[in-house]
Amino acid sequence: MAYEHKRIEEKWRKHWKDAKTYRVENDPQKPKFYALDMFPYPSGAGLHVGHPLGYIASDIVSRYKRHKGFNVLHPMGYDSFGLPAEQYAIQTGQHPAKTTEVNIARYREQLDNIGFSFDWSREVRTSDPSYYKWTQWIFLQLFGSWYDHEQDKARPIGELIERFEKHGWNGGDGSAITGNEELDPLVEFSHTDWATFSEKHQQQILLRFRLAYLSEAWVNWCPALGTVLANDEVKDGVSERGGHPVERKRMPQWSMRMTAYAQRLLDGLDPVSSPGLDWSESIKEAQRNWIGRSEGALIRFALSAGTGVVEVFTTRPDTIFGVSFVTLAPEHELIEKITPPERMAEVMAYVTQAKNRSERERLTEVKRVSGVFTGAYVKHPFTHMDIPVWVGDYVLGGYGTGAVMAVPAGDQRDWNFASHFNIPFTAVTENWDISKGADESKEATLTNSVFLNGMKVADAIPRAIDELIAKNAGERRINFRLRDAAFGRQRYWGEPIPIYYKDGIPYPLPESELPLVLPEVDKFLPTEDGEPPLARATNWNYNGLAYETTTMPGWAGSSWYFLRYMDPGNEGRFASPEAINYWQQVDLYVGGSEHATGHLLYFRFWTKFLKDRGWINFDEPAKKLVNQGMIQGVSALVASVTRTEWESKTIVIANESIVLVSKGMVDDLNKPKTIDLVRSLFVRHQPEIEVASAELVHIHGVTWRYVPVDNVDSADAVVLDKTLTSIMPWADGLPIEAVFENGKLVCKREVEKMSKSKWNVVNPDDIITKYGADTLRLYEMFLGPIEQSKPWDTAGIEGTSRFLKKFWNLFHTESRNQESGISESFIVSEEAPSKAELKILHATLKKVEEDIEKMSFNTSVSQFMIACNGLHELKCSKRQVLEPLTIALAPFAPHIAEELWSLLGHNTSITTATWPKWDAQYLVEDNFSYPISFNGKTRMQLEFPTALSKEEVEAQVLANPEVQQRLEGKAPKKVIVVPKRIVNIVL
RNA sequence: GCCCGGGUGGUGAAAUGGUAUACACGAGGGACUUAAAAUCCCUUGGUCCGUAAGGGCCGUGCGGGUUCAAGUCCCGCCCCGGGCACCA
């Protein structure tokens, strides 16, 4: 009989489901704990062994906290809008809702098999209208809000209108405006002006302040996907998903004014201002970099001819006397205005060429300096000298003002530019040879700088700004790298944006109209004239007025889902104030670090907004964040012969067959024997080679191609129980031959991300079938620290499997019987435990409790093994030891624990059991075996009672004959005794 | 280039400044068995001396330092992983 994981696990899964064991109520009488896993996207590939890593960890903590008396919210749901389902819909015509449904069912089945304590009654799906009703509602709140920098929080747009009606606008709230500001700055107006403005004009002005707004914006347009991508969805100039080229383009675009929150998003990361935010330093650092705050000055350079100014942003206003030219980004709108006619052709030629350089080129050709002189000059604010204005593509249109004051002596990029075009410049720091490069040191002392001479950089910066302010030529300015987030996609499978258009102006849909349900369309493709798929919907309008046709991006639904779990069925509000007030912030948030600058930033942004508007009462969503490491796959690759050279030119050797070569022969492909073999293999499928008597003279190379890992054995050889053509996913039906090595076709192995396209995905189902969910759970935890990435290797799984069997056997004994064969009986006794047994128990309880608190699960699994080995040796089957141990094991291996718990005679679920307290009195040692070291090197062990004082230990050690022998009669220089640790004798 | 992690046996890894390599895998040996599987027991960092018992030396990426004592702290390098980057 022994431990039967299949029977036990099925039995308890069903029981938990029927008894609603994991149902959780909002019970204000109990302390709460909120453990959340990052939303999974239900992909068609199903769950692989990497996914559950974080879920198991949070499940252990959740179960542990429940034993500790907390009311634990541990929900799960699906981020079910998204590109893959839509892509699939385009290919097959199947509605994405259908495929999503199928995928979710598969996920659910797999998740259920692992025995998580999720409360499924709280499941949410972002694509469900009852959920996205509230995503749309939050959008409307954002649309109906502006950022008041005086109060430093979002306020209803009505307050702004009131302000305009009373005072007009003097430009003072300009820092709240971002959309279109560079191209079309908003000019000030009086309250009487406001009253005379048409409604359309008023609405256009309000759009400049709304937190969700529509504007002409530079976007990352991806022609292949037919959609706009967010900055963080673009990697190296291509789309993160699919790797299609992306180009910069101006388009009307829904955006979120996240920049208004830049400072607060940054402050929230600061341990001083936000002491409760227990996130890893690397994630916080990634967010800081992404927000990219820099302090400096905005400096205005008046044009030498005509009127107007060039504004630049600089972090080094102290180097103002080193300015030798000003550089504009090719996108800068002033270029056309300031370039004199005789230079226009040359300048515009450069601008066109520079703008058309793809992002990728600009990224890869960093060292190439290019630019053009506009022919225009600006005045230096202090010296009034003429400074030439250049255009250069090293200046970015989207950052700062799109213009820089170039100080070659102090900035290496400016230095490169000046050197390339032979623009003269002078040093601005003492003792610096400007022929070698720029002095970017912050420790430098300034020179050739009039009133700044002799000052250190740190002192010169504020002085320079003060002087600029006095001359009305500049001001203090803080600049952020963070951009407003693009919020519209030219896609079908997302939340419709609850907006309709009247006279070209977007208006919010009344709350009573929500949810605005995704309409049916005939195809999931853009229309012939390039409009998004929603434009295909018929009879889809608001009282005859057109709806917005773009949909929300993937991050919309996941930016607030943690609130919906608190009160998922609420039809009148996204969650009730009582529920929010009870559950508050997420106490433990577990997910991958790849969301560092995407999801985790938007998530914080929306939380702060909801706080500002009074919907919730905290402004950070998650107190503690743990990033689980990636479980990598071990891909298998096989060499296939690609380039071959044949003697006869009369026939073409077509790709009618594929020849594989075992790994060991790849290094020496052109051995005559291999050549012969390869030739004969080609001939087998292409007899015309023989007819033409074409000879293979050289094999030039191989291509490594993926082999599905299921078909490769532990010795890296392809398992040959099927035809090679049916094994190789890329074969396309072509016949495959192989050159073997001792009868084997050996692959090379590579550790990389687990992915369907690499054929290295291992799913948990087979492991559960073979070993059970409890073994899988323990094994994933046993692999190493949770944050660490590691390749998946089942080699060690036997260890955790054996441990469970051994643990089971502490409770049981097997007996052999002539008639019935082997039978098992439950042997737990009521006998009082010995001191040694209690010591094992309490040491384990202590270690496991401490380890769970610090999320060190690998070491707690080790401790269980140590305990089990120890009790096994003591032949301990006593209830007083095994029962508490079973509770402690329950968070890790819930099925076996539940079974043993019921065998111990309990009628209630082990999940309701109280966590056993460890007691220090059982851990007290009477004796300690001291390592005795001489000059730090351990030489022997001596056992003394722990009650002995330092002095007594020292005296006894020195009295020991073996120690005496080592001392050779000499007195030691020093003896260090650390009680219950070590004795060190210094000679 | 900058910012975060990390480098320890054949492998996954453990170690409040205090016996480096716990726990597990693998490997080797043994017990049980007709046999195999399963299970159980023993050995397992390197190297040198010794028939043996036992003992010496070296060992946590490299080089220094602090300390009675360093995988752990400090300084300087090297390598690997992740993030950011013509960011003014």
pLDDT in tens, A488-511: 888 899 999 999 999 999 999 999
A904 phi and psi angles, rounded to 5 deg: -75, -5
Flag whether pLDDT at A348 surpasses 70. Answer: yes
Q: Which of residues 167-226 of A touch strand B (CB under 7 A)?
A: none
Nearest Cα residue to A897 out of A915, A909, A881, A907: A909
Q: Which residue has the higher pLDDT, A966 or A785?
A: A785
- Residue A425 beta carbon within 7 A of nucleic strand B: no
Q: Nearest-CA residue to the C1' of B6? A: A788
| Tens-place pLDDT, residues A248-277 | 677 788 989 998 898 899 888 876 666 667
In 3-state terms, what secondary structure has residue A478?
A: strand
The percentage of residues in chain A with a pLDDT greater than 70, rounded to a whole number, is 92
- What region, left, alpha or beta, does residue A20 occupy, with left being phi > 0 and alpha being psi -120 to 50 degrees? left
Asked whether the beta carbons of A930 and A951 are under 8 A apart, the reply is: no
Residue-wise pLDDT tens digits, A196-212: 999 999 999 999 899 99
Distance from chain centroid for Cα A951: 56
Nucleotide nearest to A597 (CA to C1'): B83
Residue A1, CB, strand B, below 7 Å = no
Tell me how far apart the alpha carbons of residues A426 and A170 are, in angstroms, rounded to a whole number. Answer: 41
Polymer length of chain A: 987
Does strand B come within 7 Å of the CB of A589? no
Cβ of A281 less than 7 A from strand B: yes
A711-725 pLDDT, tens digit per residue, is 877 667 787 777 888
- In this prediction, residue A633 carries a pLDDT of 79
* A155/B1 CA-to-C1' distance in Å: 42
For strand B, is any atom closer than 7 Å to the CB of A232? yes
Q: Which nucleotide is nearest to A402 (CA to C1')?
A: B88
Cβ of A935 less than 7 A from strand B: yes
Across A181-190, A353-362, A561-570, A863-872, least confident range:
A353-362
Show the domains of chain A with their CATH numbers: 295-480 (3.90.740.10), 631-750 (no CATH), 925-986 (3.10.20.590)
User: What are A969's two structure tokens?
Assistant: 């009669």
Phi, psi of A238 (to 5 degrees): -130, 160
- Work out the pLDDT band at A243, boundaries 50, 70, 90: low
pLDDT tens for each residue of A373-429: 999 999 999 999 999 999 998 888 778 888 999 999 888 889 889 988 999 999 998
| A370 or A862: which leads in pLDDT | A862
Is residue A972 within 8 Å of residue A920, measured between CB atoms?
A: no
Can you tell me the distance from the alpha carbon of A321 to that of A319, in angstroms, rounded to the nearest whole number?
Answer: 5
Lowest mean pLDDT among A12-16, A630-634, A655-659: A655-659
Which residues contact residue A366 at a Cβ distance below 8 angstroms, ignoring those fewer than 6 apart? none
For residue A534, CA distances in Å to A86, A221, A519 come to: 13, 18, 7
Quick one: pLDDT at residue A842?
A: 95
Q: Does at least one atom of strand B sit less than 7 Å from the CB of A858?
A: yes
- Does the CB of A840 sit below 7 A from strand B? no
A976 touches strand B (CB under 7 A): yes
- How much is the pLDDT for A213? 92
Q: Hey, how many other C-beta atoms are within 10 angstroms of the C-beta on A853? A: 10
CA atoms within 13 A on the CB side of A463: 16
Residue A237 has pLDDT above 80, yes or no: no
Which residues in window 797-826 of A are less than 7 A from strand B by Cβ?
798-800, 802-803, 805-806
Q: How confident is the model at residue A941 (pLDDT cuts 50, 70, 90)?
A: confident
A84 touches strand B (CB under 7 A): no
The mean pLDDT value of chain A amounts to: 86
Q: What is the largest CA-CA distance in chain A?
A: 111
**What is the percentage of chain A residues whose pLDDT exceeds 90?**
44
A316 touches strand B (CB under 7 A): yes
Residue A283: band (very low, low, confident or very high) from pLDDT cuts 50, 70, 90: confident
- The pLDDT of A938-967, averaged and rounded, is 85
Token pair, residue A361, equals: 């080129």
Whole-number distance in Å between A801 CA and B24 C1': 11
Using a 7 Å CB cutoff, list residues 241-260 of A near strand B: none
Mean pLDDT, range A641-655, rounded to an integer: 70
pLDDT, tens digit, 9 for 90 and up, residues A529-558: 778 889 998 889 999 999 999 999 888 999
Q: Copy the structure tokens of residue A219.
A: 């976007």
Decide: CB of A715 under 7 A of nucleic strand B.
Answer: no
Q: What is the pLDDT of residues A744-786, one digit of tens each?
A: 788 877 777 777 777 888 888 889 999 999 999 999 999 999 9
Q: How far is the CA of A784 from the C1' of B8 (A)?
A: 14
pLDDT digits (tens, 9 = 90+) for A818-831: 555 566 788 889 99
Spatial distance from the CA of A800 to the C1' of B55 (Å): 38
Confidence of residue A235 (pLDDT cuts 50, 70, 90): low
- Tell which strand B nucleotides have any atom below 7 Å from a protein Cβ: 3-5, 11-16, 18-20, 22-26, 39-41, 55-57, 68-70, 81-84, 86-88
Cα separation values, A987 from A445, A972, A984, Å: 54, 5, 10
Check residue A934 and give its pLDDT.
85
**What ipTM does this complex have?**
0.94
CB atoms within 10 A of CB A535: 17
8 Å CB contact between A369 and A417: yes
Confidence of residue A965 (pLDDT cuts 50, 70, 90): confident
Residue A967: both structure tokens together: 């001392």
Token pair listed for A852: 């769970």
Q: B6 C1' – A785 CA distance, angstroms?
A: 12
What confidence tens digit (pLDDT) does each residue in A676-704 have?
Answer: 888 888 888 777 777 777 788 788 778 88
